[in-house]
Amino acid sequence: MSHDLLIKNGTLVDGTGSPRRGADVAIKNSTIVEIGKVNDGAAKTIDADGLIVAPGFVDPHTHYDAQICW
């Protein structure tokens, strides 16, 4: 087993504006190491068939200065 986690058969939306595509995502030491058709095994495998696989999008939008105006 060369990967810690393998997410297989998901629909990948990577946030770059590229069209969604079917892909596997392999993770080792908390880092994505391979995207595409992954044939190596993993300690844990998640079947994401019918699911969207996407990175954790961060929304930096805040109103931290609004209290000054209240």
* Confidence (pLDDT) at 56: 78
Is 38 among the domain residues? Answer: yes
Number of independent structural domains in the chain: 1
Residue recorded with tokens 């069209």: 19
Is 34 among the domain residues? Answer: yes
Q: Name the token pair of 28.
A: 């080792």
**Bridge partners of residue 24, in order along the sequence:** 36
Is 27 among the domain residues? Answer: yes
Q: Where in the sequence is the domain holding 19, given as residue range(s)? A: 3-56
Is 15 among the domain residues? Answer: yes
> For every one of its 70 residues, what pLDDT tens digit does the chain have, with 9 covering 90 and above?
699 999 999 999 988 889 999 999 999 999 999 999 999 999 999 999 999 999 877 677 777 666 655 5
The CATH number linked to 7 is 2.30.40.10
Is 69 among the domain residues? Answer: no
Is 63 among the domain residues? Answer: no
Q: What is the dihedral of CA 32, 34, 35, 38, to 10 degrees?
A: -130
Is 64 among the domain residues? Answer: no
For residues 23 and 42, what is the distance between their CA atoms, to the nearest angstrom?
16
Q: CB 23: neighbour CB atoms within 10 A?
A: 19
* Confidence (pLDDT) at 15: 83
What is the reported pTM? 0.76
